[in-house]
Structure 1
Amino acid sequence: MKYFAVFLSMLDEEKSSIHREEHLKFLDGLREKDVVVMNGRFTDGAGGLVIYKGQDGEEVEKLVKQDPYIINGARDYELHEWEMVTEYEI
């Protein structure tokens, strides 16, 4: 399984506010399926970050495109494969 960091950059603050509850329910559903590892907003209002687990970027991008924020034009996204480090070898 690979990890993917998805930056959800702010496009429309009003739409983000309107669709926030739908977005969070969407992520909660994926968290229950062990697809979303963590998520949160940037405190400067620039948007947010979601860490997904998936086989490849294509699989994750299909999920991202189902996010109410993306569907409703509240946010744009940028997806990057992320190599999570849990321990350092010295």
Structure 2
Amino acid sequence: MNRYLVLLIRRPQLDPAAVPLHLAFLEGLRKEGRVELSGGFSDKSGGAYLLRAADLAEATALVHRDPAHVSGGWDITVYEWQA
């Protein structure tokens, strides 16, 4: 498994109702052993999570299921992280 850093930056049109759905999604991935770390930025502009996946295609597919992506409330970027 490789590590992928997922950066999320809030858009002005963010629907606050998407936040608990996003957090529940992350908790499900955490229980599967897919998320190592996650958290918001102190300035409330967004957050990040460290995702484990076989390759970039799998990481991107997982991120596209995230309610943060589905809702369109965040700009999301995925980076393979060679930590």
TM-score normalized with structure 2 length: 0.92
Q: Which residues in structure 2 correspond to 1:1-90 (within 5 Å)?
A: 1-12=1-12, 14-15=14-15, 17-84=16-83
Whether the aligned pair in 2 keeps the contact of 1:5 and 1:82 (CA below 8 Å) is yes
Cα offset for 1:44? 1.1
Distance in 2 between the 1:30 and 1:82 partners?
18
Equivalents in 1 of 2:24, 2:54: separation in Å? 23
Q: 2-side partners of 1:49 and 1:21: how far apart?
A: 15
* Stretches of structure 2 lacking an aligned partner (at least 5 in a row): none
Cα separation, 1, equivalents of 2:13 and 2:47: 12
Aligned positions, number = 83
Find the structure with the greater CA-based Rg: 1
Work out the percentage of aligned pairs sharing the same amino acid: 31
Runs of 4+ in structure 1 deviating by more than 6 angstroms, as ranges, are none
**Contact 1:23–1:69 (CA under 8 A) maintained in structure 2:** yes
State the shift of 1:14 in Å.
Answer: 4.3
